[in-house]
Amino acid sequence: MHTRKFGALAGLAAAGTALGVAEVVAIFTGAPTSPLVSVGGVVVDSVPAKVKDLAVEVFYTYDKLALSIGTLVILAAFAAGIGVLAIRRRLWGYAGIALFGGIGIAAALSRHNAPWYAFLPTLLGAAAGAGVLHWLLTHEAGDNATAEERRWFLRASGYTLLGAALVGFAGRWWSTRRNVEEDRASIELPTVAPNSVAPLPPQADAALPDLAPFVTPNKDFYQIDTALVVPQLTTRDWKLRIHGRVGKELTISWDELLKRPMIERYVTLACVSNEVGGGLIGNAKWQGVRIADLLAEARPQPGADQVVSRSIDGFTAGTPTAVLQDGRDAMLAIAMNGEPLPVEHGFPVRMVVPGLYGYVSATKWLVELELTSFADFDAYWIKRGWAAKGPIKTESRIDTPRDGSNPRAGEIMIAGVAWAQHRGISKVEVRVDDGAWQVASLLPVPSIDTWRQWTLKWQATPGRHRITVRATDNGGETQTDAVAPPDPDGATGWHSIDIEVK
Binding site for ligand MTE (CB under 6 A): 221-227, 269, 271, 311, 315, 345, 358-359, 362-365
**Residue nearer to ligand MTE on the CB measure, 313 or 399:** 313
Shortest Cβ 224–Mo ion spacing (Å): 5
DSSP 166: H
Shortest Cβ 216–ligand MTE spacing (Å): 9
Q: Which does 225 bind (CB under 5 to 8 A by kind): ligand MTE, Mo ion, none?
A: ligand MTE
**Residue nearer to ligand MTE on the CB measure, 171 or 231:** 231
Q: Which does 269 bind (CB under 5 to 8 A by kind): Mo ion, ligand MTE, none?
A: ligand MTE
Q: Which does 333 bind (CB under 5 to 8 A by kind): ligand MTE, Mo ion, none?
A: none
Contact 109, 29 (CB under 8 A): no
Spacing of C-alpha 483 from chain mean position = 26
Shortest Cβ 299–ligand MTE spacing (Å): 26
**Residue nearer to ligand MTE on the CB measure, 87 or 379:** 379
Q: What span, in angstroms and rounded, lies between the C-alpha atoms of 64 and 57?
A: 12
> Residue 260's CB: how many other CB atoms inside 10 A?
14
Shortest Cβ 385–ligand MTE spacing (Å): 14
H or E element at residue 241: strand 239-244
**Residue nearer to ligand MTE on the CB measure, 225 or 429:** 225
Q: What span, in angstroms and rounded, lies between the C-alpha atoms of 107 and 99?
A: 12
DSSP 359: G
Q: What span, in angstroms and rounded, lies between the C-alpha atoms of 22 and 337?
A: 37
Shortest Cβ 254–ligand MTE spacing (Å): 18
DSSP 478: B
Q: What span, in angstroms and rounded, lies between the C-alpha atoms of 272 and 492?
A: 11
> Residue 50's CB: how many other CB atoms inside 10 A?
12
Q: Which does 362 bind (CB under 5 to 8 A by kind): ligand MTE, Mo ion, none?
A: ligand MTE
Residues 6 or more apart from 29 whose CB is under 8 A from it? 115, 117, 118, 120, 121
Largest CA distance in the chain: 85
Shortest Cβ 274–ligand MTE spacing (Å): 8
Spacing of C-alpha 1 from chain mean position = 47
Shortest Cβ 55–Mo ion spacing (Å): 13
**Residue nearer to Mo ion on the CB measure, 271 or 352:** 271
**What type of residue is 218?**
N
**Residue nearer to Mo ion on the CB measure, 49 or 167:** 49
Q: Where are the beta strands (DSSP E) in 85-207?
A: none
**Residue nearer to Mo ion on the CB measure, 32 or 358:** 358
Q: Which does 226 bind (CB under 5 to 8 A by kind): ligand MTE, Mo ion, none?
A: ligand MTE
Residues that bind Mo ion (CB under 5 A): 224, 271, 358-359
**Residue nearer to ligand MTE on the CB measure, 391 or 407:** 391
Q: Which does 31 bind (CB under 5 to 8 A by kind): Mo ion, ligand MTE, none?
A: none
Cα angle 306, 312, 315 (rounded to 5 degrees) comes to 50
**Residue nearer to Mo ion on the CB measure, 39 or 323:** 323
Shortest Cβ 272–Mo ion spacing (Å): 5
**Residue nearer to ligand MTE on the CB measure, 124 or 332:** 332
Contact 420, 455 (CB under 8 A): no
Q: Which does 221 bind (CB under 5 to 8 A by kind): Mo ion, ligand MTE, none?
A: ligand MTE
CB-based closest residue to ligand MTE: 358
Q: What span, in angstroms and rounded, lies between the C-alpha atoms of 497 and 501?
A: 12
Give Cα separations from 54 to 10, 60, 275 (angstroms): 36, 9, 12
Contact 16, 23 (CB under 8 A): no
- Checking DSSP bridges between strand 263-270 and strand 339-340, what pairing results, if any? unpaired
Q: Which does 218 bind (CB under 5 to 8 A by kind): Mo ion, ligand MTE, none?
A: none
Q: Which does 345 bind (CB under 5 to 8 A by kind): Mo ion, ligand MTE, none?
A: ligand MTE
CB-based closest residue to Mo ion: 271
Shortest Cβ 317–ligand MTE spacing (Å): 6
Q: Which does 365 bind (CB under 5 to 8 A by kind): Mo ion, ligand MTE, none?
A: ligand MTE
Shortest Cβ 361–Mo ion spacing (Å): 10
DSSP bridge partners of 431: 468
Q: What span, in angstroms and rounded, lies between the C-alpha atoms of 500 and 502?
A: 6
